[in-house]
């Protein structure tokens, strides 16, 4: 099936959203029990962590950890937002830099100013969006970032989106409660799909959509370690307690260029494979044998592949043993933990 299709359905009774591109699963979102990124708490400072420049906070969902705590003392009340998912047994990562994010707009209470996504380069369009931004934020003390999805979008839709986020920001920032409390939940799978998958697509909401569009088969593949690559190669993605190990296998190809071809296929496929599996943290690639002269080409391809990925990924580099290392933000709960 050609084109982009967004399917909203359920997996094991949990709301889920799948993005299919030309018949292949490109992204998958599944609700889970952990506090979602974007959740906002009124939290109480608990105890500082010497040497790390951070502090543990008390929230209704358990302990949270905040970095950069200058001027903060135990017992202080503060507003924080969840930035990612915690590893098992660790505190929820949070920040004091609150963002109110929607499909078209991001309202920034602590960063005044009107900004337009740099990916929108047309000056006429930028001027149009700037007028909408000025009108929507007039008299408000907040900042605004207009996302790339604003390009060509209807002015009324953008204006309504800005107004809703500004109203929510005003309501939350005026909170003056004195007890730990969850003020707002982060977006679930269906809301995230609407917010972040903005390119034109067919939307399917009929029950059983995952089965009829091949999502269930793709999920079964993602729950396993093996990920097929072009040319008959494979990579095996195996989470351990310390890191994510990725092993690249050339398959039945015995040619001189087999290793290079398999590694290049890995570079192109790795962001999608990690995204669907919900994996992050330290990632070590055990690549197929290839000449050292091809390493630069591999790195270039890998950087290009991760440039459009939804999670921030640091390309670290080569180890003395010839492995390649990455550091990827833990923006999701691993699929294996959600679908047990």
3-state secondary structure of 11: strand
Per-residue confidence at 58, pLDDT binned at 50, 70, 90? very high
Q: Which of 85, 88, 92, 75 shows the shortest CA–CA distance to 41?
A: 92
pLDDT tens, residue by residue, 16-51: 999 999 999 999 999 999 999 999 999 999 999 877
Residue 251: predicted pLDDT: 86
159 to 83, 107, 149, 173: CA distances (angstroms): 27, 13, 13, 21
Q: What percent of the chain is modeled with pLDDT above 70?
A: 100
Per-residue confidence at 89, pLDDT binned at 50, 70, 90? confident
pLDDT tens, residue by residue, 256-280: 899 999 999 999 999 999 999 999 9
Give the 3-state secondary structure percentages of the chain, helix then strand then coil, rounded to 5: 30, 30, 40
Q: Domain 40-97 adopts which CATH fold? A: OB fold (Dihydrolipoamide Acetyltransferase, E2P) (2.40.50)
Residue 70 has pLDDT above 90, yes or no: no
- Please, what is the average pLDDT of the chain? 94
pLDDT tens, residue by residue, 193-210: 999 999 999 999 999 999
User: Do 16 and 33 touch, CB atoms closer than 8 A?
Assistant: no
Mean pLDDT along residues 243-248: 97
Which are the contacts of 172, defined by CB distance < 8 A and separation ≥ 6? 40, 79, 98, 100, 183, 184
C-alpha–C-alpha distance, residues 228 and 268, integer Å: 12
User: Do 92 and 35 touch, CB atoms closer than 8 A?
Assistant: yes
C-alpha–C-alpha distance, residues 317 and 180, integer Å: 42
Residue 135 has pLDDT above 80, yes or no: yes
Residue 88: predicted pLDDT: 80
Pinpoint the alpha helices (H) of the chain. 123-137, 155-173, 189-196, 209-212, 215-223, 258-277, 295-307, 335-338
Answer whether 0.85 is exceeded by the pTM.
yes
Neighbours of 103 (CB within 10 A): 18
333 to 106, 216, 307: CA distances (angstroms): 24, 19, 21
Residue 22: predicted pLDDT: 94
Domain boundary assignment for the chain: 4-31+195-212, 40-97, 100-176, 224-338
The residue with greater pLDDT, 251 or 213, is 213
Mean pLDDT along residues 47-75: 88
Per-residue confidence at 312, pLDDT binned at 50, 70, 90? very high
Terminal-to-terminal C-alpha distance of the chain: 30
Pinpoint the alpha helices (H) of 174-208. 189-196
Residue 231 has pLDDT above 90, yes or no: no
Correct CATH for 100-176 of 3.30.230.10, 3.30.1330.20, 3.90.180.10, 3.40.50.150: 3.30.230.10
Residue 331 has pLDDT above 80, yes or no: yes
Residue 285: predicted pLDDT: 98
């Amino acid at each position: 099936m050609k084109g982009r299709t967004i399917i909203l359905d359920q997996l094991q009774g949990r709301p889920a959203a799948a993005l299919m591109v030309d018949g292949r699963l490109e992204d998958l979102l599944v609700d889970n029990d952990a506090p979602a990124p974007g959740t906002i708490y009124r939290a109480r400072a608990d105890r500082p962590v010497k040497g790390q420049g951070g502090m543990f906070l008390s929230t209704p969902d358990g302990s949270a950890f905040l970095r950069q705590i200058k001027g903060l003392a135990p017992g202080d009340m503060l507003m924080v937002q969840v930035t990612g998912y915690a590893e098992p047994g660790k505190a929820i990562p949070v920040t004091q830099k609150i963002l109110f994010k929607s499909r078209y707009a991001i309202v920034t209470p602590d960063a005044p100013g009107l900004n337009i996504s740099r990916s929108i380069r047309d000056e006429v369009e930028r001027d149009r969006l700037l007028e909408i931004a000025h009108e929507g934020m007039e008299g408000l003390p907040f900042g605004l970032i207009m996302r790339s999805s604003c390009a060509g979008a209807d002015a009324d839709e953008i204006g309504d989106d800005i107004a809703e986020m500004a109203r929510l920001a005003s309501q939350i920032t005026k909170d003056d409660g004195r007890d730990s409390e969850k003020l707002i939940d982060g977006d679930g799978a269906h809301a995230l799909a609407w917010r972040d998958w903005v390119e034109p697509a067919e939307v399917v909401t009929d029950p059983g959509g995952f089965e009829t569009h091949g999502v269930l088969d793709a999920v079964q593949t993602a729950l396993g370690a093996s990920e097929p690559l072009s040319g008959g190669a494979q990579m095996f993605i195996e989470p351990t307690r310390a890191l994510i190990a990725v092993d690249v296998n050339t398959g039945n190809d015995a040619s001189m260029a087999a290793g290079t071809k398999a590694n290049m296929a890995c570079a192109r496929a790795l962001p999608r494979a990690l995204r669907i599996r919900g994996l992050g943290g330290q990632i070590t690639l055990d690549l197929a044998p290839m000449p050292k002269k091809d390493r630069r080409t591999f790195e270039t391809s890998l950087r290009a592949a991760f440039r459009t990925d939804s999670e921030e990924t640091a390309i670290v580099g080569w180890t003395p043993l010839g492995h390649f290392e990455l550091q990827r933000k833990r923006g999701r709960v691993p699929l294996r933990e959600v679908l047990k």
